[in-house]
Structure 1
Amino acid sequence: MTLVLIVFLVLVALGMPVAFAIGISGFVFFLSQDLDVNIPAQVAVTQTQNFAILAIPLFVLAGNCLNETGLTRRLLDFASALTGHMRAGLGHVNAVSAFMMGGVTSSAIGDATMFGRVLGPAMMAKNYAPGFAAGVIGTSAIITTMVPPGTGLILYGTLGEVSIGRLFVAGVVPGVVMTLLIMAAVSITARRGDYPRERDRRAPLAEVLRTGVRAIWALLFPVILILGLRFGFFTPSEAGAFAVAYALVVGALFYRELTWARLRRALSDTVVDVGMIMLLIALSGGWGYALTWDRVPQTIMDVLLGISENPTVILLVLVVSLLVVGMFMDSTVLILLLTTMLVPVAEMIGLDPIHFGIVMVLTLTLGLLTPPVGIVMLIVCQQFRTDVPTYLRQSVYLWLALLALVVLVILVPGTTTWLPELIY
């Protein structure tokens, strides 16, 4: 397995696309072990035959269709009515909208790109510090990963054989807490920087209700998914099919903004998104086979138990390791590579796989915001034409908010397990 890791790191350092680096390094394992070279092809095909994985392309298509129906504009109007009267109101609008949009975008990268284009010009026009504006857009995008149907949670649940429905429910409370902590960080920064209010006074109740009704179909989307999964109306894959039908009906019949041209654009974007994800899933099969063959989970467990037998201490060690690894690789890739390795370890040391899944996905996603290769960080810094040190310095309270959330979720497992136990 050491040889596989070395080959993978060398290929990535040479600039090879990550999916091919994973596939080639996995194939090297079979050569080094003198195993049948037909097995890698069989494993790659097997990876894509999991029925639950069908949920991923369906949810991606549903999100792209919903994005073409005008839901984004309606959610922004609703969020502005709720929080526009606060200092640095656009920052609060961004956080609240990201929470409400989670069920639509399902992607932190897509969320950051979209809000950077929509809210970025207004933030700069109101003289937001570039690093702070970039930090607000970037950190708010992470909320998306906790709101159903987050792609990271689907991947973790599928590969780790953990209930996807329970994972969806488990992410709700951390998502709400993350939104509130980011809003608190925005408020502190706004007071210290004397940022103006977007509105002179709080929006009238009539305006809040009117904008809320206009956005109701987006707000109901994750609720219907959770209830449908809880009461057995559909499996995760069937939920994805329902989501597509829901998006088409809402866009064509209720909002009447989903034209043929927009549908073609949604289909085109979906092909690109799904092609990347499924290639990663298929080629990661060799790694999963290698990890099992070399008994890597058992080795990791022995090392961790040598440090401590306290599950909380072991989880803290794992989180620090995941944060470091997440600084250098994309979170989706890491979820694919590490889930089959770490879920057995978590279960052997007594960690709840639902709790561990939320911690793992959240921690790895934070890598999107960290140097040197955080994709979301690079996107927002480019959008606001600022450098990484300035972005880190002017977003310090936002970073403290995210770290506080990680510590809270680790030390208080009930934040992730209470709602699933209540509903299920």
Structure 2
Amino acid sequence: MDLVLVIFVLLLVLLFLKVPVYIAILGSSLVYFFLTPGVNSIVFAQQAIGGTESISLLAVPFFVLLGSLMNYSGVTSRIFDFAAMLTGRMKGGLGHVNVLLSTLMGGLSGSNLADAAMQSKMLVPEMEKKGFSKPFSSVVTATSSMITPLIPPGIAMILYGSIANVSIGKLFVSGIGIGGLLCIALMGLVAVISNKRNYPRIREHRLGINEFINGAKPAIIPLMIPIVIIGAIRAGIVTATEAGSLAVFLAIILGIFYKELDMKAMMKSIKETVVSTSGIMLIVAAASVFSWILTKERIPQQLAEWLIATINNKYIFLFVVNIFLLIVGMFIEGNASMIILVPLLAPIAAAFGINEIHFAMMYIFNNAIGALSPPMGTLMFVTCGITGCKTKDFIKEAVPFYILLGVVLFIITYIPFFSTALVNLLY
């Protein structure tokens, strides 16, 4: 137990020093193998390799590639035009477009950082030209990108499902409700702030039927891709991995049809996919070793026994977990914390009788907030790095958004309906 504590401390120190996550986890794990007598060092390599061999993880590169292809195939611009058409007459129209585009693209890209980077380049300059402040534009971009891992096919859901042995199809369905809730909440806050600051509309005239039909036509086929993915998985026709490959095939067909996806763009997408997937899999491999150490030392069992003995109410347990995950999310990347903590917390949640889908979506939502939170919020830094917004101005502008996220987290935590209603309906 003392050695495990040393490993945890070393891991935190390495992360604070901004050592790459997978190196921090592997380095701290190596200490255990060096200092523990009777533990064969071959296990280190076996666990690292074995952790990446989950069938569910095969879906990751396909959905990463899907998101990249969307940006090069002309799909993103068509969905942007569709979102602008729907929200154009609302005060602060481009702010609403920002949120709605993240929601619609979340069903295609699966990566919040890719979404934030894309919209920081595409939307923030346009918002500034229309009179929006740089901090507000940056905050809306970063916050709306949180929706991406919540909407299927979010990579976070694939990882969680493979770690906790939870149906990825059910998580995808649940994500529709959670992502939709956050989208509505963010659009409500953008409307309040836009009215208060008199941010402009995109257009003044009402949307006619013919204008709506003409604007919706180019976006219909791209928006069908998430429906095809979820429908095929639910019908049992394909697995999550096969659905990913099917979606990639459809994206390539669309790119060729739109005459915007050439071989150069295709190779660039593949390169981006290899880099992103490699980073994810290195973290998975490293964390698999760390999880083996925790299991061998019976840390999950001891923690579960302590929590159950100390906390006899599931609502208090959920509150404590939320506070803990929010703090962890401020310092540790979401996928890394998930691989380390889900094997610890998911069994305890099950012992308290908490629905596995409900707990999964609550956990993923906490991770999404962590990506926006200082001092190490990746979404915040990616967005500010591209837009040129100062971090202190970003944090000041983000205060009402942090409050809103806290309210939404409370709703998700204590009203399981939003996580489970669609799952119960379809399954």
- Whether TM exceeds 0.5 here: the answer is yes
Is the CA contact 2:331–2:376 (under 8 Å) kept in the aligned structure 1?
A: yes
Alignment of 1:2-81 (within 5 A): 2-34=5-37, 35-81=39-85
Residue by residue over 1:118-152, the C-alpha shift from the partner in whole angstroms, topping out at 9 and shown as x without a partner, is 00111111221222111100110001111110000
2:238 is the alignment partner of 1:234: yes
Give the deviation of 1:385 after TM superposition.
Answer: 2.8
| Separation (CA, whole Å) in 1 of partners of 2:326 and 2:343 | 18
SS at match of 1:49: coil
SS at match of 1:48: coil
| Separation (CA, whole Å) in 2 of partners of 1:202 and 1:23 | 58
User: Identity, % of aligned pairs?
Assistant: 34
Give the deviation of 1:230 after TM superposition.
Answer: 0.7
| Separation (CA, whole Å) in 2 of partners of 1:127 and 1:379 | 22
Alignment of 1:278-357 (within 5 A): 278-357=281-360
| Separation (CA, whole Å) in 2 of partners of 1:26 and 1:243 | 37
Give the deviation of 1:15 after TM superposition.
Answer: 3.3
Give the deviation of 1:302 after TM superposition.
Answer: 2.8
Give the deviation of 1:189 after TM superposition.
Answer: 0.6
- For 1:238, the aligned partner's letter is E
Give the deviation of 1:336 after TM superposition.
Answer: 1.7
Matching residue within 265, 268, 274 for 1:265: 268
Matching residue within 183, 200, 220 for 1:216: 220
Judge which range, 96-105 or 72-81, deviates more.
96-105
Give the deviation of 1:6 after TM superposition.
Answer: 1.6
Alignment of 1:20-419 (within 5 A): 20-34=23-37, 35-252=39-256, 254-419=257-422
| Separation (CA, whole Å) in 1 of partners of 2:281 and 2:415 | 34
Give the deviation of 1:401 after TM superposition.
Answer: 2.3
Is the CA contact 2:104–2:223 (under 8 Å) kept in the aligned structure 1?
A: yes
Return 5+ residue gaps in structure 2 as ranges. Answer: none
Give the deviation of 1:294 after TM superposition.
Answer: 1.6
| Separation (CA, whole Å) in 2 of partners of 1:165 and 1:126 | 41
| Separation (CA, whole Å) in 2 of partners of 1:48 and 1:379 | 27
| Separation (CA, whole Å) in 2 of partners of 1:91 and 1:177 | 17
Is the CA contact 2:290–2:340 (under 8 Å) kept in the aligned structure 1?
A: yes
Is the CA contact 1:3–1:29 (under 8 Å) kept in the aligned structure 2?
A: no
Residue by residue over 1:373-403, the C-alpha shift from the partner in whole angstroms, topping out at 9 and shown as x without a partner, is 1011112223333333322222333223222
- For 2:6, the aligned partner's letter is L
| Separation (CA, whole Å) in 1 of partners of 2:302 and 2:399 | 37
| Separation (CA, whole Å) in 2 of partners of 1:382 and 1:205 | 41
Judge which range, 281-290 or 4-13, deviates more.
4-13
Residue by residue over 1:89-146, the C-alpha shift from the partner in whole angstroms, topping out at 9 and shown as x without a partner, is 1110011111100122111111111001000111111221222111100110001111
Is the CA contact 1:251–1:257 (under 8 Å) kept in the aligned structure 2?
A: yes
Judge which range, 300-309 or 2-11, deviates more.
300-309
| Separation (CA, whole Å) in 2 of partners of 1:178 and 1:279 | 31
| Separation (CA, whole Å) in 2 of partners of 1:202 and 1:184 | 20
| Separation (CA, whole Å) in 1 of partners of 2:391 and 2:306 | 35
Is the CA contact 2:116–2:382 (under 8 Å) kept in the aligned structure 1?
A: yes
Give the total of aligned pairs: 423
TM-score, normalised relative to structure 1: 0.97
| Separation (CA, whole Å) in 1 of partners of 2:394 and 2:309 | 39
Residue by residue over 1:270-310, the C-alpha shift from the partner in whole angstroms, topping out at 9 and shown as x without a partner, is 11111111111111111110111122222222332244222
Is the CA contact 2:16–2:331 (under 8 Å) kept in the aligned structure 1?
A: no
Give the deviation of 1:421 after TM superposition.
Answer: 0.9
Is the CA contact 1:101–1:218 (under 8 Å) kept in the aligned structure 2?
A: no
| Separation (CA, whole Å) in 1 of partners of 2:122 and 2:87 | 17
Is the CA contact 2:92–2:201 (under 8 Å) kept in the aligned structure 1?
A: yes
Judge which range, 40-49 or 303-312, deviates more.
303-312
| Separation (CA, whole Å) in 2 of partners of 1:3 and 1:217 | 53
| Separation (CA, whole Å) in 1 of partners of 2:221 and 2:292 | 43
SS at match of 2:206: coil
Is the CA contact 2:15–2:332 (under 8 Å) kept in the aligned structure 1?
A: no
| Separation (CA, whole Å) in 2 of partners of 1:207 and 1:296 | 60
SS at match of 1:309: coil
TM-score, normalised relative to structure 2: 0.96
